[in-house]
Structure 1
Amino acid sequence: MISKTIKGNSTETIIKEIDEATSDGFKPTLAIVFLSIKQDREAVSKVLDDKGIQIFGATTAGEFIDGDIEEGSIVIMLLDINHEYFKLLFLETGEQSTFENAKQLGSEGKNTFKNPAFIIVSGWLSKDGENIVEGITEGSGGEVTIFGGMAGDDMFLTGPIAFTHGKSSAKGLIGLIIDEDKIEINGIATCGWKPVGTTKTITKSEGNVVYTIDDKPALDMIMKYLGVEYDFDTGKEIVTQIGAYYPLQMERENVAPVMRTAMLANREDRSLICAGNVPQGSKIKFSLPPDFDAIETVIEECKQLKDEYQQEADALIMFSCISRHLSFGILMSEEISQVQKVWNAPMVGFFTYGEFGKSKTGKHEFHNNTCCIVALKEK
């Protein structure tokens, strides 16, 4: 399987890049398309569809290709994967719930391949992250490979979109179902964040809204404990300070903690709105702001994945939380480039509003503040 990555700041540039990439006889069948919400995704989709290339797409909160970070652009990975080895399915939450859609996706995968793997992108469905994983797992009849991310919208927080040719929606779920008997897929969800302080309890929550921690208003608790300020006039400090630098770590027995990002705050009831469910009764710790050690942890876990499971890759896809970009700053490019060098294969990715994947000691689940890397290799 051959993969080639291209990028551009306009549809016209992408047309030229596709023509150049295919000038040597390369005939891609699938395009992984990650682009800014400001770009004309319908025009880009038409260009690819006219060439007979299927589309797995998402809007982003920033894009990257190989070791380079882009903003407001279009990045594409072109793959010449055999049509018989994959299937695309696009579903939209509406008459059916997100869980029912995800269950349908899982069932379709099992009916199509004996051993299906799922690479997924969802739209603005942050309350349904766990439902997506549970639905796919139930539909496919057991634990299966699931990696992916929630689309972004350049931090406008109004409606990130999942799309394919002729279909797009902020409530969309697109699944790239791959035959694991033909394509080797391995991945890992890793973050490197270090916990700090004593274990605390979520004493009141509903879905992704946390009302109290140790019976104290959640916002007041985290502001006092971490010494951060919340600017209610701009409404943005909760994202850049608490969400990016101080994610919550939900503790579990014998497995890695799962991260939860505080995206917004309610000034009236002092609650935190997280990018994923935080069940009442959960045990949590706060996190230290990241340093270079966090990057080294991510790189080391990728190296372990390579050594133990997949020494070579034809293509790499990365889903990295936008909060990592906000907190790491210029160090983010170091993490991306170093991960790409682990396999030295073409890589495409984007900054997400949530990630799907399996940690070193956990199961496939929904994450925040996490880097999910997927390696693919034709058998």
Structure 2
Amino acid sequence: MKARSIKANSVKQLQQVLAGVISNDFSPTMVVLFLSVQQDRQAVVDLFNQYKIDVFGATTSGEFIDGETGNGSIVALLLEINSEFYKLKFLETGEKSTKENAVEIGRLGKELFANPAFIIVSGWLTQDGEAIVEGITNGAGGEVVIFGGMAGDDLKLEGPLVFNNTQKSDKGLLAFILDADKIEINGIATCGWKAIGTNKTITKSEDNVVYTIDDKPALDTIMKYLGVEINFDQAKEIVTQIGAYYPLQMERENVAPVMRTAMFANLQDRSLICAGNVPQGSRVKFSLPPDFDAIEIVVEECKALKKNKQPEADALIMFSCISRNLSFGILISEEIDQVKEVWDAPMVGFFSYGEFGKSHTGKHEFHNNTCCLVALKEKVG
């Protein structure tokens, strides 16, 4: 499988880059396409349609190839891959629930391939992260590889999109289903965040809304515990000032904790609306803002993946939480660059509103504030 990663700041520039990349020696059949909502999405898709390239796309809250990050741009991973080795499937939450659609995707994968693997992007379906993983797993008839991310919209928090060659939706679920007997696929969900303080209990919650922590209003508890005073004049301030720097770590026995980021605050009932479900009774800890140690942990876990499972890669796809970008600042480019250098393969990625993947000790599940890295390699013979 041949791969090329490209970046452009406009449709015109993308057209020029594509003309220079596509040749007799490189004829991509599909593209992993991530772009800002500021870009003319339809014009970009039309361009790939001219080349008859299958589109697996999502809008973003920041984009990158290799170690080069940006905002408001277009990034793409062009893949020359046998069309018999993959299938794209787009479904929209509406007449059927997100979970029912996820089950259908899992079933399709199993019908197509004896050993399917799934790379997914989803729209504004934050409450359905766990349902997506559970649905695909149930539909496929057991544990399968699932990695991906929830689309972003430059932190407008209005309606991120997923799209293919002909469809788009802010409630869409798009799957890149691979034949894992032909394409080796491995990945890691890792965050590097350090917990602080003692365990606390989610004493009242419903789905992704946390009302009380240790029987006290959730918003007041986190602000008091962390010693922060914030005037929430805008919805995004909860993300940039609490969600990015002080995510919750949900503790589980014998597996790595799963992260949950606060996306909104309800000033009337003092609850937190998180980017993922937080079951009542969960034991949680707060997190320290990241430093170089967090990057080292992420890179070391990627190196372990390379050593133990995936020594080589033709291409890399990364889904990194927007909260990581906000909290790491200029360090985020360092993390992306170091992860890319582990395999030294073409990489594309974006900053997302939630991530799908598997930690080194857990199962495939929905994450926040996490870096999910996927490595692809065509098998020989």
**Length-normalised TM-score, structure 1:** 0.99
* Equivalent position of 1:363 in the other structure: 363
Answering whether residue 226 of structure 2 is matched by residue 189 of structure 1, we say no
Answering whether residue 232 of structure 2 is matched by residue 232 of structure 1, we say yes
Q: 2:340 is aligned with what amino acid? A: Q
Q: Which SS does the other structure have where 1:31 is aligned?
A: strand
Q: 2:117 is aligned with what amino acid? A: A
Q: Which SS does the other structure have where 2:244 is aligned?
A: helix
Indicate how the Cα distance of structure 1 residues 235 and 86 shifts in structure 2: closer, same or farther if over 3 A, else same: closer
- 1:181-260 maps to which residues of 2 (within 5 A)? 181-260=181-260
* Equivalent position of 1:162 in the other structure: 162
* Equivalent position of 1:133 in the other structure: 133
* Equivalent position of 1:52 in the other structure: 52
Tell me, in whole angstroms, the C-alpha distance in 1 between the residues paired with 2:167 and 2:231.
38
8 Å Cα contact 2:155/2:236 also seen in 1? no
Superposed CA deviations along residues 244-284 of structure 1, whole A, max 9, x for unmatched, are: 00000000000000000001100000000000000001010
TM-aligned CA deviation for residue 23 of structure 1: 2.9
* Equivalent position of 1:66 in the other structure: 66
Tell me, in whole angstroms, the C-alpha distance in 2 between the residues paired with 1:157 and 1:166.
24
Tell me, in whole angstroms, the C-alpha distance in 2 between the residues paired with 1:375 and 1:120.
14
- Single out whichever of 144-153 and 39-48 deviates more from structure 2: 39-48
Q: 1:202 is aligned with what amino acid? A: I
* Equivalent position of 2:148 in the other structure: 148
Tell me, in whole angstroms, the C-alpha distance in 2 between the residues paired with 1:329 and 1:110.
41
Tell me, in whole angstroms, the C-alpha distance in 1 between the residues paired with 2:299 and 2:231.
35
Tell me, in whole angstroms, the C-alpha distance in 1 between the residues paired with 2:82 and 2:336.
28
Tell me, in whole angstroms, the C-alpha distance in 2 between the residues paired with 1:172 and 1:51.
24
- Single out whichever of 167-176 and 235-244 deviates more from structure 2: 235-244
Tell me, in whole angstroms, the C-alpha distance in 2 between the residues paired with 1:237 and 1:228.
13
8 Å Cα contact 2:236/2:263 also seen in 1? no
Taking only aligned residues, the RMSD between alpha carbons, in angstroms, comes to 0.7
Answering whether residue 338 of structure 2 is matched by residue 338 of structure 1, we say yes
Indicate how the Cα distance of structure 1 residues 47 and 236 shifts in structure 2: closer, same or farther if over 3 A, else same: closer
8 Å Cα contact 1:299/1:335 also seen in 2? yes
TM-aligned CA deviation for residue 372 of structure 1: 0.2
8 Å Cα contact 1:42/1:165 also seen in 2? no
Tell me, in whole angstroms, the C-alpha distance in 1 between the residues paired with 2:87 and 2:267.
45
Tell me, in whole angstroms, the C-alpha distance in 1 between the residues paired with 2:227 and 2:24.
58
Q: Which SS does the other structure have where 1:200 is aligned?
A: strand
8 Å Cα contact 2:313/2:343 also seen in 1? yes
Tell me, in whole angstroms, the C-alpha distance in 1 between the residues paired with 2:224 and 2:341.
41
Tell me, in whole angstroms, the C-alpha distance in 2 between the residues paired with 1:360 and 1:142.
19
Tell me, in whole angstroms, the C-alpha distance in 2 between the residues paired with 1:69 and 1:308.
29
Tell me, in whole angstroms, the C-alpha distance in 2 between the residues paired with 1:95 and 1:370.
31
Q: 1:188 is aligned with what amino acid? A: I
Q: Which SS does the other structure have where 1:185 is aligned?
A: strand
Superposed CA deviations along residues 310-362 of structure 1, whole A, max 9, x for unmatched, are: 11100000000000000000000000000000000000000000000000000
TM-aligned CA deviation for residue 24 of structure 1: 4.6
Q: Which SS does the other structure have where 2:39 is aligned?
A: coil
Q: Which SS does the other structure have where 1:197 is aligned?
A: strand
- 1:224-303 maps to which residues of 2 (within 5 A)? 224-303=224-303
8 Å Cα contact 2:190/2:298 also seen in 1? yes
TM-aligned CA deviation for residue 40 of structure 1: 1.1
Q: Which SS does the other structure have where 1:298 is aligned?
A: helix
- Single out whichever of 126-135 and 25-34 deviates more from structure 2: 25-34
TM-aligned CA deviation for residue 232 of structure 1: 2.4
8 Å Cα contact 2:32/2:77 also seen in 1? yes
Tell me, in whole angstroms, the C-alpha distance in 2 between the residues paired with 1:102 and 1:370.
22
TM-aligned CA deviation for residue 46 of structure 1: 1.1
8 Å Cα contact 2:127/2:208 also seen in 1? yes
Q: Which SS does the other structure have where 1:265 is aligned?
A: strand
Unpaired runs of at least 5, structure 1: none
* Equivalent position of 2:42 in the other structure: 42
Answering whether residue 309 of structure 2 is matched by residue 305 of structure 1, we say no
Tell me, in whole angstroms, the C-alpha distance in 2 between the residues paired with 1:274 and 1:362.
21
8 Å Cα contact 1:228/1:241 also seen in 2? no
Answering whether residue 2 of structure 2 is matched by residue 2 of structure 1, we say yes
TM-aligned CA deviation for residue 69 of structure 1: 0.1
- Single out whichever of 221-230 and 345-354 deviates more from structure 2: 221-230
Deviating runs (4+, > 4 A) in structure 1?
none
- Single out whichever of 9-18 and 311-320 deviates more from structure 2: 9-18
Tell me, in whole angstroms, the C-alpha distance in 1 between the residues paired with 2:109 and 2:24.
33
Q: 1:323 is aligned with what amino acid? A: S
* Equivalent position of 1:179 in the other structure: 179
Tell me, in whole angstroms, the C-alpha distance in 1 between the residues paired with 2:16 and 2:77.
15
TM-aligned CA deviation for residue 64 of structure 1: 0.3
Q: 1:180 is aligned with what amino acid? A: A
Tell me, in whole angstroms, the C-alpha distance in 2 between the residues paired with 1:99 and 1:234.
32
8 Å Cα contact 2:152/2:161 also seen in 1? yes
TM-aligned CA deviation for residue 234 of structure 1: 3.4
8 Å Cα contact 2:204/2:211 also seen in 1? yes
Q: 1:219 is aligned with what amino acid? A: L
8 Å Cα contact 1:249/1:285 also seen in 2? yes
Tell me, in whole angstroms, the C-alpha distance in 2 between the residues paired with 1:23 and 1:88.
24
Tell me, in whole angstroms, the C-alpha distance in 2 between the residues paired with 1:202 and 1:233.
26
8 Å Cα contact 2:324/2:332 also seen in 1? yes
